[in-house]
Structure formats: structure tokens, C-alpha cells
Amino acid sequence: MKLAVGADHGGFARKGPLVRWLKKEGHAVTDVGTHGEEPVDYPDFAAQVARRVARGACARGILLCGTGIGMAIAANKVPGVRAAVAWSVETARLAAEHNKANVLCLGGRQFNSRQIQAMVKAWLSTPFGGGRHERRVKKIMALEKSC
């Protein structure tokens, strides 16, 4: 799968190991940065990943900041993006199954690399459940057109 990955300084330490693991798992990864620990503005990286996902250049995106919250707020401003913050394997799985999340946001300061890999693996391997969830996702996407 083609993935876009981005981080700010709060997620930088976890991004490198995640990118290497994703490539080892056979994914094509576009790393949009950041490429150092100096403070940067997370909306810049959230926008780059979200836009790649929204226009179809990448199937999904992964964003890392200190908590994942700021990245999710910023990414969800891009039409077509459904960014979800996960804090466990179960919430990552449910983001895919129930919400058809196409961007996963994680806290680089909250989890170690192994925990992040487990959440990403659950998210990537869980299909969208459809059914009643499809109706709800359509309503979420309709909100973009009504504002």
C-alpha cells in the first residue's frame, strides 16, 4: 500500500523506526518530514499528508506529534480526510472498521515504537465494516459539503 507519513518534532523520534518497519512490511512510503528534532509547526506536515491522501496520491496517511490530537485537528480540515487519533490497538482497529479512517494520528510521546507498530498494523489490516457504518461515514462526508 502507498502511505504518506509525517511528523512534527514531538513525533520525530518514532517516525524513523515506523517508516523503516512499514517499508520492511512491503509498503511504499512517502516521508514528508520533519527530518530533525527542531521545533516545527504540525499543521504544515498534517496538510502535506492529508492532501496526498485526499487527492489519491497515497491510499492512507500516518501522522505523529506529541499526542496525535493536533495532527488530527489539522488533517481533518482537508476535504476527504477522516483522521482518527488512536490510543490502543482496539481504537486503531475501530477507526478502520467503523469510521473508514484514512489517516491515523498517533502520539509519539505517548507510545514506544512497538506500540505504534501494533496500532498501525491493526489499522492497516482491518477492513471497513460497511453496513450501518457506511451510512454514518456518508453523513460525516456530507458535512464537508454543507458548511
Q: What is the β-pairing status of strands 103-107 and 83-85?
A: parallel
Return d(Cα 65, Cα 86) in angstroms, integer.
12
CA distances from 127 to 92, 95, 99, 123 (A): 12, 10, 10, 8
Q: 103 φ, ψ to 5°? A: -135, 130
Beta carbons of 62 and 8 less than 8 angstroms apart: no
Residue 20 neighbours by CB under 8 Å, 6+ apart? none
Residue among 35, 98, 133, 147 flagged as catalytic: 98
Catalytic site includes residue 58: no
65 belongs to the catalytic site: yes
Q: Which of 9, 27, 35, 65 is catalytic?
A: 65
For the annotated catalytic residues, the residue numbers are 65, 98
